[in-house]
Amino acid sequence: MADFFKLNEEYYRVPGNFTFKDVYLAEFIRKETLERPELFQIKSDDCFVVSYPKSGTTWTLELTQLIMNNGDTTYTESENHFDRMPFIEFKLPKFPKMDGVKAMQIKESPRLLKSHLPIHLFPSQALHMGCKFIFVVRNPKDTVTSYYNFYQAMPSLYGDYKGDFSNYLKLFMNGKVVYGDWFDFTLGWWKYLNGNNALFLKYEDMKKNPRDATVKIAKYLNYDLGDDVIDKITEYCSFAKMKASKFINFEEIKGRPFLRKGATGDWKNYFTVAEDEAFDEVYNERMKDSGLSFDWE
């Protein structure tokens, strides 16, 4: 790690933070299920959307759910996003309906489930049962930018973060944000997804060609949808439409909505030139053998 991102001892810690198998986590992640993954009662026809936070998870989930409902929006408009798609490792008394393990149990199959767990913390039985995996990844500069804003928008999860972006970037580069090191997370899943029956999506590709993402997800899940249905789903999940939907977007703090900018390249408004150069140095070293590349604009 370049000295540039060195953290001092007094770095910001989220409420109830703990480290499990080297991953920095928060109190809203149920430790019991990490120790006993069998508590997740996985079914072979489950479909998981897996991602590092702020990579386009919500967008991918909404697209996938509409595909699984053949474009019918009735279910989407019946409950808010978090209650429709169980977030499997989540548990916080303040949000009782979002208890992941319980929420999974009451959903009908085939279930659409969300997780941000790195592969080595993911319930391993799911990897051997024929479950579907849609992995969505976003360039890490925009990911950290989005995550920085999200920390400030969601004090019930992340506490009272008052640091500036430079400080946050140091936390991110040291794996001291919730769900830990982006590089470990991405490389871990990427290694697994290559060669397994999984769908890999990049946020930047989805932005460039959203219809293509809808087509890919439908094909992966074996839904034979007409062009008009594909168009309808794609349009329904446009940033503007999702932002306007009370079933998808929300604000914990006025003026800080869950759906923020929905753009690629916003990192340029946050990184200094020096931070960008130091980031690239780490990125090039950590990703050099991965075969994975990103659009940054």
Which residue in the list 81, 116, 120, 128 is annotated as catalytic?
A: 116
Find, among 284, 88, 75, 253, the residue nearest to 158 by Cα. Answer: 253
Q: Is 76 in the site for ligand A3P (CB under 6 A)?
A: no
Q: Taking contact as CB under 6 A, which single stretch among the options 7-15, 25-33, 124-132, 231-239 is the one that binds ligand A3P?
A: 231-239
Q: How many CB atoms lie within 10 A of CB 270?
A: 19
User: Is the Cα torsion angle 18, 24, 28, 32 positive or negative in sign?
Assistant: negative
CB atoms within 10 A of CB 161: 18
By the rule CB under 6 A, 57 interacts with ligand A3P: yes
Nearer to ligand A3P, 125 or 152 (CB): 152
Binds ligand A3P (CB under 6 A): choice among 237, 245, 278, 279: 237
- Per the annotation, the verdict on 120 as an active-site residue is no
The residue range among 34-42, 223-231, 235-243, 277-285 that interacts with ligand A3P, by the rule CB under 6 A, is 235-243
User: Which CB sits closer to ligand A3P, 81 or 111?
Assistant: 81
Site string for ligand A3P, 138-157 (x = CB under 6 A): ----x---x--x--------
**Beta strand residue intervals within the chain, DSSP E:** 18-20, 23-25, 47-51, 112-115, 132-137, 198-202, 251-253, 256-257
Which residues, in sequence order, are CB contacts of 32 under 8 Å at separation 6+? 39
Q: How far is the CB of 149 from ligand A3P (least distance, A)?
A: 5
Q: Indicate the SS3 state at residue 202.
A: strand
137 binds ligand A3P (CB under 6 A): no
User: Which sign does the torsion angle of CA 49, 50, 51, 54 carry?
Assistant: positive
51 binds ligand A3P (CB under 6 A): yes
Touching ligand A3P, residues 257-276 (CB under 6 A): 259-262, 266
| Dihedral in degrees, nearest 10, Cα atoms 100, 103, 109, 114 | -30
Residues forming the active site: 116
Contacts with ligand A3P, residue ranges (CB under 6 A): 51, 53-59, 142, 146, 149, 237-239, 242, 259-262, 266
